[in-house]
């Protein structure tokens, strides 16, 4: 079975709407499960420099990095030494 790209599932939804929805999910998450702001920024900076980042998605795991990085228990699929 071919798995559709998450971006394709969101056809017609703007980038801003996706970012707003991710921000809503993160703010609804209990604070203890959320990545502290400084760590979140560091994680996103590493993603921004990573060749596996494509249109806001990590091609290694298929996640929106804005969301994955915001969940404290998550790690980069290429290894915890990244984040
Ligand atoms: S989660 Fe890891 S592999 Fe994916 S884009 Fe970020 S740094 Fe790269």
The tens-digit pLDDT sequence of the chain (83 residues) is 766 667 677 778 888 998 999 999 999 999 999 999 999 999 999 999 999 999 899 999 989 999 999 999 999 999 999 99
In a domain, 12, yes or no: no
Q: Can you say whether the dihedral through the CA atoms of 82, 29, 53, 43 is positive or negative?
A: negative
In a domain, 18, yes or no: no
In a domain, 73, yes or no: yes
Question: Closest ligand 1 atom, CA of 61?
Answer: 4
Distance in Å, CA 28 to ligand 1 centroid: 24
**Residue 65, pLDDT score:** 95
Number of domains in the chain: 1
Question: Closest ligand 1 atom, CA of 46?
Answer: 7
pTM to 2 decimals? 0.87
Distance in Å, CA 67 to ligand 1 centroid: 12
Structure-block tokens of residue 15: 């980038």
* Closest alpha carbon to 64 in 43, 42, 80: 43
**Residue 3, pLDDT score:** 66
| Structural domain boundaries enclosing 56 | 34-77
In a domain, 5, yes or no: no
Distance in Å, CA 39 to ligand 1 centroid: 14
In a domain, 56, yes or no: yes
* Closest alpha carbon to 78 in 59, 56, 64, 55: 59
């Amino acid at each position: 079975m071919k798995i559709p790209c998450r971006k394709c599932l969101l056809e017609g939804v703007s980038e801003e709407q996706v970012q707003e929805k991710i921000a809503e999910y993160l703010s609804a998450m209990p604070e203890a499960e959320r990545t502290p702001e400084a760590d979140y920024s560091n994680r996103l900076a590493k993603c921004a420099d990573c060749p596996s980042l494509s249109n806001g998605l990590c091609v290694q795991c298929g996640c929106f990095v804005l969301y994955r990085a915001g969940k404290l228990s998550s790690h980069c699929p290429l290894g915890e030494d990244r984040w």
